[in-house]
Chain A
Amino acid sequence: MTAYQQPLPPAAELEDSVLLQMYYQMLRARRLDERMWVLHRQGKVAFHISGIGQEGTQIGAAFALRKGYDWVYPYYRDISLVLTLGMTPRMLMLGLFGKKEAVSSGGRQMPEHFSYRPSKLVTISSPVGTQIAQAPGTAFASKIKGSDEVTVVCFGEGTTSQGDFHEGLNWASIHKLPVIFLCQNNQYAISEPMSVEMAVKSVADRAKGYNMVGVKVDGNDVLAVYDVMREAVARARKGEGPTLVEGFTYRPVPHSSDDDDRTYRSREEVESWKKKDPILRFEKLLYERKLLDDAKKTEIEAGIMDEVNDATDYAMRAPYPAAEECLYPVYGPLP
């Protein structure tokens, strides 16, 4: 049995350097995501699905985990989460272009179906929600192995209408499995607002039906998410069972590069949420605490743009898979 990890400090006691790391991770994911949109609009890549606006929830969650030790099922918007847990801008760009060197699948898989074995990131399925029932399976394995690793599974609120959500949460709670169900509630399932998706006001309310702890948190407040996740992780590590966490946020961009969100929501609504951007909010806090000023911010931005440019150039130059590789690897190796 692995020794229980020391619980992480609460947000109020986090060191300045950690807070600045959080900021850097949020901003880097944002700038990389923005570049991906540009590349799509330039016709250089086929598809992009974005995590813009959800950095607060994802970074708050990522910092509550032990990188490379805990299992994570990221969903397709989790750019900030996977970058924080060990994937690099180059890796994501290679995936976006479908290049041979892309770590998730060598160009087989859609770009935002992240998987990366060293970071224990497990790929999702395009039919949403199947991972919600798989994650308790991973947590079940951890329990059998006697490991105190935890499993985090991410999904949007729209996905909670799928049967897998019910089956996964029910099972996890019966067996008190070390799994955290992280719902990133961005209020839209493609075009459908929450009122069309569910009759409850909050996804977290559904935890009651499974005798599970359910917590709704402001997903645009990175530190609030961190605190909620920190407690959920501690509970899971101690064998006290699963938690349903709902990070309430907003998707200020279309569902994907194929979507036009003007057909189903007003520009006023989108603009009002852009004012609540999680990065702007955290930046304000860092300015207030004198951890950040204009000069420092410019320096961080410049470093990030170097990384984004490097990743773009590298991925554009990288070779595609060879045509002959097409049938590899449909099956595993022979025994």
Chain B
Amino acid sequence: MFMQNNQVNDENMREISFAEAIREALAEEMRRDPTVYIMGEDVAEAGTPFKVLLGLVDEFGTERVVDTPISEAGFSAIGVGSAMTGMRPVIDIMFGDFLPLAMEQIVNRAAKIHYMSGGKLRVPIVFRTTLGAGRRSAAQHSQSLHAWFSHIPGLKVAIPSTPYDAKGLWKTAIRDDSPVIFFEDKMMYSLKGLVPDEEYTIPFGLADIKRSGKDITLVATSSMVQVALDAAKKLEEIGLSAEVVDPRTTWPLDKKTLIASAKKTGRVIVIDEGYEQYGVTAELAAVIAEGAFYYLDAPVRRFGAMDVPVPFSPVLEDQTIPSAEQIVEAAKDLCAV
């Protein structure tokens, strides 16, 4: 079954964490399909540094939960090679910041093989990785690089913001015949949310309205959805009704839902944790401006991460991530209150 919104009234719901939702999705898909396997650094006994995969090796063994030497370029290539010949690998890149090490395989190989072979070869692979700052991990453990992959034809990019979305999108990602880059916010693993007992998937390219409103639209992705919801709550206190829209996948992109919300409210702020310069916020703002220009009462505003390598010092790092307070101020400005 397809489910678009979190149906909190469903009696078959349980509250589980973002990490548990991901682990469940992977375990269920591995039980369903013997061609699915996981490969990466510290995925087996350690269950990854964030412990998201803990226990999978006990059920599926080291043949399907495979620890690799430190060699991102190498095991990404092994993933691509095995995917072309019938497997469905989940390639675990411990931090999104390590994706550049595997760039040739992702951008020049996985993304293009289907097209370059005239559709004869498929690469049903998922690169599993993280995004998000705030963990005091500095410049090379904190970046949100999903814009890079959203830019490349041939790749799909999933960026869930709730346990429910994470599980449903993960199952779709594994079943998809195209390469998918799956970004998890590393600060969100303990976030709890309702997830149904029964099987479900969420299609790519379908945005979710996390909160309905009429005065302003906050388009937010991944780590920024909770920030936007927090801002919406604060705006409600001063009488502004904010709608929060989560695209859930940056590619394919649900332009229709974004444009419809913009037409309804007439004011839009786009929030994403990637760098602001040439970022996801720029693309989303352009889509909205093109599709809803005559309905807008003000220019689209955008908030990305500050255009600086993420600093270590807490005083500096905290400034680089968009905050609910900034969004509230911008919303008040756009709504002239």
Contact = CB atoms under 8 A, between A and B. Distances in A.
Interface of A: 46-47, 98-100, 105-111, 113, 125-129, 158-159, 161-163, 189-192, 196-198, 258-259, 263-264, 320-323, 325-327, 330
Contacts of A110: 137-141, 312
Contacts of A258: 49
Contacts of B137: 47, 110
A190 B42 contact: yes
B100 A264 contact: no
Contacts, number: 126
A45 to B, nearest CB: 9
Contacts of B312: 46, 98, 105, 107-111
B49 A320 contact: no
Given A126-B140, A127-B101, A189-B41, A330 B307 contact: yes
Interface in B261-319: 306-309, 311-316, 319
A99 B313 contact: yes
23 contacts: A98-B136, A98-B314, A99-B313, A106-B313, A108-B139, A109-B138, A110-B137, A126-B95, A127-B98, A127-B101, A158-B69, A159-B70, A161-B71, A162-B71, A191-B44, A191-B46, A191-B67, A192-B69, A196-B69, A320-B315, A323-B319, A326-B311, A330-B308
B45 interface: yes
B46 A263 contact: yes
Interface in B71-117: 71-74, 95, 97-98, 100-101
Nearest to A327: B308
B320 interface: yes
A204 B66 CA distance: 26
Contacts of B69: 158, 161, 189, 192, 196-198
Given A47-B136, A109-B138, A259-B49, A320 B74 contact: no
Given A125-B140, A263-B47, A326 B306 contact: yes
Contacts of B49: 190, 258-259
B46 A320 contact: no
A46 B138 CA distance: 11
B71 A326 contact: no
B309 A161 contact: no
Contacts of B45: 191, 263-264
Contact of A330 (B72, B74, B100, B309): B309
B73 A321 contact: no
A129 B70 contact: yes
Contacts of B100: 127
A161 B46 CA distance: 19
A259 B47 CA distance: 11
Given A108-B311, A163-B73, A192 B316 contact: no
Nearest to A95: B312
A166 B48 CA distance: 26
Q: Which of A128, A192, A323 has the most CB of B within 10 A?
A: A192
A225 B294 CA distance: 73
Contacts of A129: 70
Given A108-B139, A108-B316, A264 B46 contact: yes
Given A127-B72, A127-B140, A191-B44, 9 more contacts: A98-B311, A110-B138, A126-B139, A126-B141, A161-B74, A191-B67, A197-B69, A326-B308, A327-B308
Contacts of A111: 312
Contacts of B67: 191-192, 196
A162 to B, nearest CB: 6
